[in-house]
């Protein structure tokens, strides 16, 4: 594929978290004023007029907190293509013992909510208490739990 932007296709339950809450987290967790090439640009791809309007509204609100102009692109979502397998759950793939313990095929890895949670927490996003809540009912070994707790202490981004 030629010119592309690396992004995620985020599915969410609006009964659990609103689109506006997700946008606010998006603005908080990155620098929307950083100018980058197409591959790594900051972008929001919307699926409806309502999503577009909320993205623009939250961008305008965020601009008040920045001296530099926000350069995040807001554009209509087009086709989404999965990246190559070695890009899927990239952080989790760096923790081979945990990845192997999940016993997932490459296709299952893309779709697995548990793999997604491991990927985020191993990247330092969140805290151990939230990890325990998010994985409640999932049979995890003491070794897996200890490893995630250790990683969160080491690389926590909060």
Rounded mean pLDDT of the chain? 91
Q: DSSP label at 141?
A: -
Q: Is 0.75 surpassed by the pTM of this model?
A: yes
By the 8 A CB rule, do 73 and 36 touch?
no
The answer to whether the CB of 71 falls within 8 A of the CB of 37 is no
In the chain, beta strands by DSSP E: 43-46, 73-76
pLDDT at 146 over 50: yes
pLDDT in tens, 19-77: 999 999 999 988 999 988 888 889 999 999 999 999 999 999 999 999 999 999 999 99
Q: pLDDT tens digits, residue range 115-124?
A: 999 999 999 9
Percent share of the chain, pLDDT over 70: 98
């Amino acid at each position: 594929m030629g010119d592309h932007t690396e992004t995620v296709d985020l599915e969410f339950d609006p009964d659990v978290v609103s689109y506006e809450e997700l946008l606010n987290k998006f603005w908080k967790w990155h620098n929307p004023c950083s100018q980058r090439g197409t591959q790594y640009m900051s972008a929001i791809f919307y699926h409806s007029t309502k999503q577009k309007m909320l993205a623009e509204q939250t961008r305008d609100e965020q601009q008040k907190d920045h001296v530099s102009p926000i350069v995040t692109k807001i554009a209509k979502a087009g086709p989404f293509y999965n990246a190559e397998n070695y890009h899927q759950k990239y952080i989790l793939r760096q923790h081979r013992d945990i990845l192997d313990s999940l016993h997932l095929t490459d296709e299952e890895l893309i779709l697995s909510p548990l793999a997604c949670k491991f990927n985020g927490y191993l990247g330092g996003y969140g805290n151990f208490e939230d990890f325990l809540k998010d994985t409640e009912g999932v049979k995890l070994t003491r070794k897996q739990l200890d490893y995630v707790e250790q990683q969160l202490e080491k690389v926590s981004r909060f």
